[in-house]
A and B are shown apart, each in its own frame.
Chain A
Amino acid sequence: MNRAWLGSIVLALAMTSACSRHAAGPAEAPPKAFGAALVLVSGDKQAAGVGSALDQPVVVQVNDEKGTTVAGALVRFAGAGGVIFDPDRGLTGSDGQFTTNVSLGGVHGLYRIVAATKNSSGKAAEIRIDEIALGYQETLGKQVSDIHCVRCHDSESTPERVSNHDNLIAQAHSFTDGAILNAMSDADLAAIIGHGGAALGKSAEMPPYGNTLTKPEIDALIGLLRALADPPYRPQGIFYAGR
């Protein structure tokens, strides 16, 4: 009987150590300072292909109560669904900022990652940062959009691409404008892309693309709009009990 007890204790210990293997990791540098708040500097709402690294790193900054930057505070990143951070924890630099490179998981959709720091009394301050993984359909949509859409729908110019957004009378909606686009049904979006703005009583400055793009390409564009929407798009699914 004693042996059985001993055996189960050994087993329990072995299991505990096996479970905690992940948390141990490499020894981390102890924080040299503590902040009260965490703010995002850059790198949220990026879109990248499933499983791939985001183009820009995510940068966060630790501030104290007065809002001045804190150097040497410990920042940890965490995220579900196979998100990988390089590195996932570290101390803020002299500018109070911490930078990490993020690779998204293998399934398309929205990834919510959390950055956290602790203040001197051990209370955690955290921020949530959203990133978007594009599946096949959204990737195709992005290719189509890069050729036919962004010049008017993106108000930002890049060195390689001058925006036409401000040359129009009707202001083309940004593809991330969830407040407007989420309210439009897939059928309406398909109509406006395929038949032009005039089809829905909107500006004729939006040309019809129904003879230029194929149906899968238009579907892919709608998929992209849904993926990029901010606030996030929630499909009108079936309502069900039990939750």
Chain B
Amino acid sequence: MSLPKRVRSAWQYLFGNSASAFGTLSGVLLILLAVVPAKDYFREWLGYQKQYLRLIHGRGDATSLSRRFQGGLQQIWMPELGVVDRCTTCHTALKEASLADVKTQPFRPHPAIPHKLTEFGCVICHRGQGAATTVEEAHNSTKSWEEPILPARYLEASCGQCHLDRLMGTPRLNQGRDALAQYGCVRCHTIKSPDGVTMTGSDAPPPLQHIADKTTREWIAAWLKNPQAYAGSATMPNFQLADDETRDISAFLIAQSTPYQTHKGTEPAPAASQDTAALQEGTSLYGESFCSSCHAMQNTAGMLVGGNLGPELTRAGSKVKTEWLADWLRDPKTYDPDTRMPHYRLDAKEVGLLIGFLSSKSDSDFLGNTQLAAATPAQVEHGKTLVIERGCANCHAINGVKKPDNFAPELTLVGSRPLERILFAPGVPHTLADYIGAKIRQPRSFGNALKMPQYTLAPQQVDALATALLAQTQLAQTLPVSLRIPGRAPSHYRPAGKAGQLIDDMRCFSCHKIDGRGGDMAPELTWEGSSVERAWLVSFLKNPNTLRPSLIRRMPKFNVTDAEASTLADYIMTVYQTPAFDQETLDSSRFTPADVEHGKELFYGKYACQSCHIVDPNKDKGYIGPTLTQVGARLTASWIFHWLKNSQSLRPGTQEPVWNMNDEDARAVTAFLVAQKNAPRKEAAQK
């Protein structure tokens, strides 16, 4: 049979008469109608819901679980937040804590967090496409939705969209934000918080206007070639410069340098003491002056020991000129008015000893390969061009080069950057998080012509930085302002007068916080005047002794004169007074020996203070809080009394727990502590 004949006979068979035609059409209609329920039946989410019902069937709490289960498409809708999340359609058990043993997704309960699912939905934190109802569309980057689920390690970024303050539960976000400021990211890239505050750097890049007085051209060239070869902990990134580029930049930097106003004294620089005895004395002086509270140095085992407020000094002898070092040690401000280094008031002998010690910290290998011929004017000119191109003036003050504006792309909204506007390097997965991570790890893998330098960062630091950047989203700008927890506004507190000059001279703010300004290495001093006795304060300023036995970063001795100590003490005692209580709360002269005895019982018994403090050095071993052997000479009775009641209100963040003692107990313990003023320190006794 030929084909047309077959078709004709089939047509005859199906539609030959009205009965066949009716039957055929009914059959077709039935099949068409069946498509819809079939499509519905095979929907992905319905399968998960059935799976869930099978999972809870047979569990002890199956009845209550199934009662709470709601079938069908689920949706969290919050128009004011722009949330349309259908995730709970498949993630059926997010609120079912009793399913903690279930390890298969999408049926795991949500881990404990401070927010309710119904307040924020899912996508504000996890990203992805909330309205989607298939696994692929909801979780992955697709043609219609480019933002995939945020990998768990960056999840704290989502907290950062509203929380502009420091949250204790988001250490990675905090670390990332700190790193943005500390590694100078914010000096090239403008990054604004959603509340409009521009992030500022917390590093202290040195000015280069007088660099020729400080170091040699060879050192500059070698440093530019690889800063980490000089100091492993250096935060200056590697600009991956060619030899001729480091040659020309160093030529320019030396050429632009002007002599600085050297130390006013005309005394010649003390000779560096290099003999063994002097070296030993210098080493001791370096230790006694607690230089290592801020500066790190590699020990013989290759371990880096010391703080990171100042530069690492492992190879300082290969860097600085001794005349400069002498001036710097005498008074750092004359070279760099904004330095964090205090004015130590060292005498000529001490300066000489420290120069001797630091000069011995040299490394002949570091400068071994750097030989430079005298610079030509063309090289200097080329060096200047390079300095401008590389944006050196974003961080450093340089004569004749202005700090550029908008040198690098603004990153305020980098967390919402559309993928279509990103050029991915080969091998980098096409997600924003991967792009940011790769860009921080190896900026030049995105193109050799890019200006961004190579940083030396641990993987954890890269993750932290990416987390902080992923928090910079469009959503953070558009969320209701009422949700925003603002960060602490910066304090520009500047004490006035003679005491203010002293505080500035000794750079107290580098370590201490007063009225919201300053570092956090040392105790906050905002209410110091309410806390201490004046006589103790004067003697401490003259010769700081360590209060906490286990403390590693310690207060150095600034060799202040009697007059200076007195001026400072007067100011602190008058100005840094808390309004929280009256110094007349307690009259310590009314304490009776019975009070002291009762306080002692409470101290050692009920409150077991000796677990952290030492009152009797022969018996107590507590190693956490300050030693209290002479606390009666140090602290006022009223301060102790209120401290025992609520320490956190006097110094927020202190390790001392809030004891909330009743008045009788607090009074008795205070009486016991005030009695601890014996054994005056030797120095005080001699004077």
Contacts and interface: CB of A to CB of B under 8 A. Distances in A.
A162 B169 contact: no
Nearest to A235: B100
A143 interface: yes
A231 interface: no
B111 interface: yes
Nearest to A239: B60
A13 interface: no
Contacts of B460: 52-53, 55
A67 interface: no
Nearest to A164: B623
B98 interface: yes
Interface string B94-137: 00001011010100100111100000000000000000000000
A147 to B, nearest CB: 7
A106 interface: yes
Given A136-B112, A241-B58, A143 B608 contact: no
A152 B657 CA distance: 14
A107 B108 contact: yes
A212 B412 CA distance: 36
B155 interface: yes
Contacts of A219: 112
B677 to A, nearest CB: 24
Contacts of B646: 211
Nearest to A53: B459
A211 B647 CA distance: 10
Contact of A168 (B60, B153, B552, B611): B611
A51 to B, nearest CB: 3
Nearest to A101: B459
A208 interface: yes
A28 B89 CA distance: 43
B534 interface: no
Contact of B151 (A51, A238, A241): A51
Given A135-B111, A238-B60, A240-B59, A50 B605 contact: no
Given A212-B657, A241-B58, A106 B111 contact: no
A137 B168 CA distance: 11
A164 B59 contact: no
A200 to B, nearest CB: 14
Contacts of B202: none
A101 to B, nearest CB: 8
B114 A148 contact: no
B621 interface: yes
B305 interface: yes
Classify the interface of chain B: helix, strand, loop or mixed: loop
Given A136-B113, A148-B657, A167 B152 contact: no
A162 B103 CA distance: 39
A159 B152 contact: no
Interface in B590-613: 605-608, 611-612
A160 interface: yes
Centre residue among B154, B168, B622 by max chain A CB count within 10 A: B168
B550 interface: yes
Interface string B623-659: 1100000000000000000000010100000010111
B463 interface: yes
Contacts of B657: 148, 207-209, 211-212
B111 A108 contact: yes
B66 to A, nearest CB: 13
Given A164-B611, A207-B657, A136 B169 contact: yes
A223 B112 contact: yes
Nearest to B553: A160
B308 to A, nearest CB: 12
Contact of A51 (B58, B114, B153, B171): B153
B243 interface: no
A155 B394 CA distance: 46
A128 to B, nearest CB: 16
Interface string B41-72: 00000000000000001111110000000000
A137 B112 contact: yes
B349 to A, nearest CB: 32
A172 to B, nearest CB: 9
Interface string B429-473: 000000000000000000000000000000110010000000000
A142 B612 CA distance: 21
A203 B607 CA distance: 10
Given A162-B550, A212-B657, A167 B623 contact: yes
Interface of A: 49-53, 55, 81, 103, 105-108, 135-137, 139-140, 142-144, 147-148, 151-152, 159-162, 164, 167-168, 198, 203-205, 207-209, 211-212, 216-217, 219-220, 223, 235, 237-243
A151 B623 CA distance: 9
B172 interface: yes
B660 A211 contact: yes
24 contacts: A49-B172, A51-B154, A51-B155, A52-B153, A55-B460, A81-B103, A107-B152, A135-B112, A137-B169, A139-B169, A139-B170, A140-B168, A143-B171, A147-B655, A152-B611, A160-B552, A162-B623, A167-B622, A207-B607, A208-B657, A209-B657, A223-B112, A240-B58, A241-B58
A146 B18 CA distance: 86
B623 A137 contact: no
A106 B605 CA distance: 47
A221 B586 CA distance: 37
Interface of B: 57-62, 98, 100-101, 103, 105, 108, 111-114, 151-155, 168-172, 305, 459-460, 463, 550, 552, 605-608, 611-612, 621-624, 646, 648, 655, 657-660
A238 to B, nearest CB: 4
Given A50-B153, A160-B552, A204-B607, A167 B111 contact: no
A212 B655 CA distance: 9
B608 A205 contact: yes
B553 to A, nearest CB: 9
Contacts of A105: 152
A151 B151 CA distance: 33
A142 B550 CA distance: 22
A203 to B, nearest CB: 7
A207 B612 CA distance: 10
Contacts of B658: 211-212
Contact of B648 (A49, A144, A212): A212
Given A164-B622, A217-B168, 14 more contacts: A50-B152, A51-B155, A135-B111, A135-B112, A137-B112, A151-B624, A159-B552, A162-B550, A164-B612, A203-B608, A211-B646, A212-B658, A223-B112, A238-B60
A161 B553 CA distance: 11
A75 to B, nearest CB: 22
A97 to B, nearest CB: 21
A90 to B, nearest CB: 19
A85 B198 CA distance: 39
A142 B171 CA distance: 10
Contacts of B552: 159-160
B59 A238 contact: yes
A164 B549 CA distance: 11
B163 to A, nearest CB: 13
Nearest to B606: A204
Contacts of A55: 460
A240 B169 contact: no
A144 B608 contact: no
B611 A167 contact: yes
A143 B108 CA distance: 26
Centre residue among A136, A148, A152, A220 by max chain B CB count within 10 A: A136
Contacts of B660: 211
A217 B114 CA distance: 10
B655 to A, nearest CB: 7
Contacts of A241: 58, 60
Contacts of A203: 608
B149 to A, nearest CB: 9
B58 A242 contact: yes
